Amino acid sequence: MTQDALAVNLAGLQLANPMIVGSGTFGFGEEFINISNFANEDLGAITLKGTTLEPREGNKTPRVAETPSGMLNSIGLHNPGVDALINDILPRIRKFNTRLIANIAGGSVEEYREVARRIASADGIDALEVNISCPNVHRGGVEFGTEPAAAADVVGAVREVWSKPLIAKLTPNVTRIATIAEACIEAGADILSLINTLRGMVINTETRRPLLGANYGGLSGPAIKPLAVLLVHQTYQVAREKNVPLIGMGGISSASDAIEFMLAGASAFSVGTSLFWNPSVCRQILQGLRDYLARHGVGNISEIVGTLKLN
Amino acid sequence: MADVARQEGDHFTLRFDAPEIAASARPGQFVNVRYPGGIEPPAAFDSYADLQAHHKTHPPAEPPFLLARPFGVRRVRPDGSVEILFKAVGRGTRLLARAQPGTKLDVLGPIGNSFDLSTPPGTAILVAGGTGIAPLYLLADTLHKLGSELVVLVGTGYDVPMSMSDSETVVHFLDEEVTAVIDEYAEMGALVRVATMTPRTGCFTGTSVDLLERYLQSLNPKQLQRHAIYSCGPWAMQAAVAKLAETNRMQCQVLLEERMGCGLGACMGCVVKVRQPDGTFRNKRVCVDGPVFRADEIGWDLRE
């Protein structure tokens, strides 16, 4: 089987394979370099840590807690700011033989636009993911992702200054995700990615206090996978009509998990939390995808997208 | 391959084969250990009593945990094995305590920076709180080989997770009944004393910080100069150690712990405030920017 069996094209974003690493789970692409059984070149793309206009120190600790089959986090967009990304980090990571997706966040429409404008003026970022779904910051983030008009404002503002593929990352913390999806597409999003984390909380019963320093956090990991698959399935119903591809994510820790997302309608998928407990997961998934294609006689993986048959 | 031995109380030592880690681990570095074990196969029982009897030897299975747990490397052996020491306090450590010979573990390491030993002191004071003693063995061994004299001051609740003996020598800074020593450090020729919160024969009643304070008070300024402090334990204890080091103008390195997500520097979960050259404090990752820091660069009062 050739490499081309896994090659995918997402609205002009050409990937060697559909496997991406999710924002916030992979730093700025340099942290896994020395891990055995892992290579950045195995990835279709790397999504960088959420970046804001100014550096942010993030939330107080503890920032992470394990939950049944999952993990709760409240990092709070801890990042060095867009100028450090462009001047210090990008020159080092540009050379990776994979695609780079920047993930941007802001407290106002204007901030999103400015971060996007600065990244557009630099060289090396292949696509921009607009984070309108971070649950861990007070201003911005998820506020923009739960109101269709606000989501459209942010996506529209970034669209004005960014000509390459534009991804809107959707939150699951809404009543009807398709409504937000439609608003983002209308405003100019080329690709939708979903889902971001679900809001959650863990309480220490002895101290009667939340375990996380910031009280609430975002839930990720295998625990959220069935919900994520359903939301991809629902979003696909509206996105397919507009020819907008989806990047599915939420608890993927095996090739079979990834294939579930693709059958439900995702053209690509992201691995995240599972990297923390199994850095070999990406290699295992790639092999599993190849095995699946061979077993089902499929020439290119894109052919399985949305081929779910409902009972 | 895993080999678990129960120490006093809920403390356990866990040894596993990891030749690459054993060959390269430096004092202060840690390993990410995950017990990938699944759920026990279902068994049928004729009566509830049979089930209860079964559970006496086979405790009910707990779901496997997802995230690896970080443990300081306690010791490495020429046979390629690595040893950690921990207290079973939560689900992850309880499961690890149940590992059997032959159990396969996911282990990643060695991770993090290590103690700066570029200028070994005349005398190294190792201060430990609780299981903070674990990673200090490799440090003591290394400092010993570098020619430093060792003073090891350990504080625990009551249970001491290492074998102890009664020493015949009385140390100058403590009452004469405080004679208990930890064997493995005594064998290196270290001056060792143990503090327990709950009174225990041969041990000082108090904390490791109390022990340190007494020891430092017994030194004259010239003696102080040739000492340096290395510390590992809970945050409040290390903050107090840092304060004593500052007061006495001593070099002090601390090994910190924090709840971690990935242990690889990617998730930004395990941060601590560290003073920058311009005097401001910034969040740094304990896992890869640490876990060892200079005590005087930590924002001890800035932890919210």
Q: What pTM, to 2 d.p., does this model score?
A: 0.87
Pick the CATH number of B258-304 from 2.60.120, 1.10.3470, 1.10.260, 2.10.240: 2.10.240
The answer, for A66 touching chain B at a CB cutoff of 8 Å, is yes
Q: Which residues of B229-247 are buried (b: 16+ CB within 10 A; e: fewer)?
A: bbbbbebebbbbbbebbee
Please tell me the predicted confidence (pLDDT) of residue B228. Answer: 97
Return the H-helix or E-strand segment holding B89.
Answer: none
Choose the closest CB to B266 out of A26, A62, A277: A26
The answer, for A58 touching chain B at a CB cutoff of 8 Å, is yes
The whole-angstrom separation of Cα A72 and Cα A77 is 15
CA distance B174 to chain A (A): 37
The whole-angstrom separation of Cα A258 and Cα A44 is 14
Please tell me the predicted confidence (pLDDT) of residue B105. Answer: 85
Q: Is A48 exposed, middle or buried (0-12, 13-18, 19+ CB in 10 A)?
A: buried
Return the H-helix or E-strand segment holding B24.
Answer: helix B19-24
Q: Which carries the bigger pLDDT value, residue A203 or residue A278?
A: A203
Residue of B nearest to A24 (CA): B267
- Model confidence band, residue A129 (pLDDT cutoffs 50, 70, 90): very high
The whole-angstrom separation of Cα B171 and Cα B242 is 24
pLDDT digit string (tens) for A81-106? 999 999 999 999 999 999 999 999 99
CB A28 within 8 A of CB A48: yes
**CATH node for B2-111:** 2.40.30.10
The pLDDT of residue A303 is above 60: yes
The answer, for B268 touching chain A at a CB cutoff of 8 Å, is yes
- Strand-pair category, B2-6 with B11-17: antiparallel
Sheet containing B106-111: which strands, arranged edge to edge? B69-72, B30-34, B106-111
Q: Which residues of A touch B33 (CB under 8 A)?
A: none
Q: What percent of chain A has pLDDT over 90?
A: 90
- Model confidence band, residue A158 (pLDDT cutoffs 50, 70, 90): very high
Average pLDDT over residues A303-307: 98
pLDDT digit string (tens) for A24-68? 999 999 999 988 889 999 999 999 999 999 999 999 999 999 998
Best of B262, B271, B281 to disrupt the A interface (most A CBs within 10 Å) is B262
Please tell me the predicted confidence (pLDDT) of residue A135. Answer: 67
Task: Tell which CATH architecture fits domain B123-255.
Answer: 3-Layer(aba) Sandwich (3.40)
The active-site residue out of A6, A65, A134, A232 is A134
The whole-angstrom separation of Cα A82 and Cα A88 is 10
Please tell me the predicted confidence (pLDDT) of residue B91. Answer: 79
Please tell me the predicted confidence (pLDDT) of residue B45. Answer: 66
Task: Tell which CATH architecture fits domain A3-304.
Answer: Alpha-Beta Barrel (3.20)
The answer, for A14 touching chain B at a CB cutoff of 8 Å, is no
Check CB contact under 8 Å for B66 and A70. yes
Check CB contact under 8 Å for B66 and A276. yes
For residue B180, list its beta bridge partners.
B166
In chain B, list all ranges with CATH 3.40.50.80.
123-255
Per-residue pLDDT of chain B (304 residues; tens, 9 = 90+): 678 888 888 899 999 999 999 999 999 999 999 887 654 444 566 777 776 676 666 655 555 667 889 999 999 999 999 999 999 988 788 888 888 787 788 899 999 999 999 999 999 999 999 999 999 999 999 999 999 999 999 999 999 988 999 988 888 898 888 999 999 999 999 999 999 999 999 999 999 999 999 999 999 999 999 999 999 999 999 999 999 999 999 999 999 999 999 999 999 999 999 999 999 999 999 999 999 999 999 999 987 6
In chain B, list all ranges with CATH 2.40.30.10.
2-111
Please tell me the predicted confidence (pLDDT) of residue B41. Answer: 43
Q: Which residues of B touch A26 (CB under 8 A)?
A: 266
The answer, for B235 touching chain A at a CB cutoff of 8 Å, is no
Q: Which residues of A touch B260 (CB under 8 A)?
A: 64
Check CB contact under 8 Å for A73 and B66. no
ipTM: 0.85
The whole-angstrom separation of Cα A152 and Cα A115 is 17
Q: Is-catalytic flag, A134?
A: yes
A-B C-beta contacts closer than 8 Å: 95
The whole-angstrom separation of Cα A294 and Cα A287 is 11
In chain B, list all ranges with CATH 2.10.240.
258-304
Please tell me the predicted confidence (pLDDT) of residue A1. Answer: 43
